[in-house]
Structure 1
Amino acid sequence: MLDKDIVFVLMNIKFIERYKEIAKKYLFNANESFENYDSDEVQSIINDLGYEVSFNKKEKFFRIIESYSPYRFQFNISLKYGAAEFIWSVWKDSELKMGGTWGILKEQLDGLENDKVRKPIFRNYEELKEILADAFSIYEDFKREYSAI
């Protein structure tokens, strides 16, 4: 169950609508996806978008960690099979306030398990950059609103 402050912020920033919008815009057939991306190129794209990122080679995901006392935000990005999956975690002091994929967060917000949102598919680096820019816009709104509570 999501913390009431998290729910308030996600609803306030129109998280579900914005997530669905990204997924709809990049709703391509899986066989069109760009699976063989170069992790260094993706790190460069994320850096160009203004974030320090590390790549976990074993688990194959990108991680951004930002601390703004008393909060710590973690944004993981998985690009398996050419589909972008976003995972957020938030701590206040050392207490985990939220953690999960955007799909799980959406389900916890609206309770609609049968209304799954497909992960956005990218076919090239340009589309990936657009998807990430949109995702980071939501992330920045979330951080700003949540930190203000």
Structure 2
Amino acid sequence: MNYADIQKSVLEELDFLNFRKELGNKYGLQADYWKAPIDVEVVKSMLKEMGYTAKYTKTENFFSIKEKYGDIEFTFQTTLKGGCVEIGWYTLFEGKKVNYSGAWTRIAMEFLGEHIPLPIPMFKNYEELKEILSVILNKYGVYKAKFMAAAAKMNQ
């Protein structure tokens, strides 16, 4: 077993594809979605309340949370544009991406072997954005814990 196998196993255990689909269906296309510019400080504060310190990269318009545990690094990224919540999860071992890393759309495509459009979560206000991010970050926390536990077991 290698890190890519662990990652795939954990994503399957978390039922990632259905989680992604259900989140998109619940918060998908809304007539009254957010259209104003995002207040970066409000979002950073929101993430801080959830226990994460995020950096904002203005040139690429995304928030990023990086955590390193020995040779394993996890990165959570989100782009909030036009009311859409686009997510990327990256897992690196010794600086190299593990297979199922990247935008959720890409991860889903890797699993399915083909591109099937999945609805993207959208928000209409900061309260709904916080709710969406909370659900995603909770799942992300479980993903990291399960990945680290399986990696530790593999390395024994």
TM-score of the aligned structures, taking structure 1 as reference length: 0.91
Residue 77 of structure 1: how far off its partner (Å): 0.5
Matches of 1:21 and 1:143, distance apart in 2: 21
Residue 97 of structure 1: how far off its partner (Å): 1.0
Which ranges of structure 1 fall in alignment gaps of 5 or more residues? none
- How many residues are matched? 146
Matches of 1:95 and 1:19, distance apart in 2: 25
Deviations 1:5-56 (A, max 9, x none): 2211100111111111111110233x52213221111111111111010111
3-state secondary structure, aligned to 2:110 = helix
Structure 1 stretch displaced more, 89-98 or 126-135 = 89-98
Deviations 1:108-140 (A, max 9, x none): 112241x31121010000100010011101111
Counterpart AA for 1:100: G
Matches of 2:142 and 2:6, distance apart in 1: 14
1:83 equivalent in structure 2: 84
Counting only pairs closer than 5 Å after superposition, residues 1-149 of structure 1 correspond to structure 2 as 3-29=4-30, 31-36=31-36, 37-98=38-99, 99-113=101-115, 115-149=116-150
CA RMSD in angstroms comes to 1.5
Counterpart AA for 2:16: F
Matches of 2:119 and 2:55, distance apart in 1: 25
Residue 80 of structure 1: how far off its partner (Å): 1.2
Deviations 1:61-111 (A, max 9, x none): 000001111211011100111100001111112222142111110111122
2:154 equivalent in structure 1: none
Matches of 2:136 and 2:97, distance apart in 1: 22
In terms of Rg, which structure is larger? 2
- Whether the aligned pair in 1 keeps the contact of 2:29 and 2:120 (CA below 8 Å) is no
- Whether the aligned pair in 2 keeps the contact of 1:18 and 1:138 (CA below 8 Å) is no
3-state secondary structure, aligned to 1:117 = coil
Counterpart AA for 1:35: K
Matches of 1:48 and 1:15, distance apart in 2: 25
